Structure formats: structure tokens, C-alpha cells
Structure 1
Amino acid sequence: MTYQLIKTKEKGIKKPPSKSTQYYIFFRTANVRLYTSF
């Protein structure tokens, strides 16, 4: 999760991450982990 936030910061997005984007990133990473675990 922190890696994704750092990655977006490196791209140059100066917009502060809202709760919706944080939840989106969290669920996205969670889905990736679930898919990789199976």
C-alpha cells in the first residue's frame, strides 16, 4: 500500500490522496494478493 502511494508521488501527482483513493488502492492490492495466493 505504501509502495503504491510512493509510486504515485514519484509520478508527480500533487493531489493529496483522499479516503476513496486509499480504499481503492487497498482493495486493489488485496485483490492482487488474493489472486496470487490462489
Structure 2
Amino acid sequence: MVRLPFGWGRPLWVDDPSFSLADHVSVVECPVPGGRQA
């Protein structure tokens, strides 16, 4: 988001060509429960 100078108008969404979703999302694996006590 970009704010306009002097507070004029509302903030605007702008594209960021250097943005990479992979830099913000990761995969986490959870182990299967080991038995009744898990």
C-alpha cells in the first residue's frame, strides 16, 4: 500500500515486482500421533 502525499485520498494498492510469495510461506509437517498416549 502506498499513501498519497499530504494525506490526500485513500492509500492505494500497488504491484511489487520483487515480491515473492515463497519468501512468506513455508510448509511444516506434523508427525503422526505415536499411539494412544499421544
> Could you say which TM-score interval applies, normalised by the shorter chain?
under 0.3
TM-score relative to the length of structure 2 = 0.24
TM-score relative to the length of structure 1 = 0.24
Which structure features the higher share of helix residues?
1
Larger radius of gyration, structure 1 or 2? 2
Which structure's relative contact order is higher, taking Cα pairs within 8 Å and 6+ residues apart?
Answer: 1
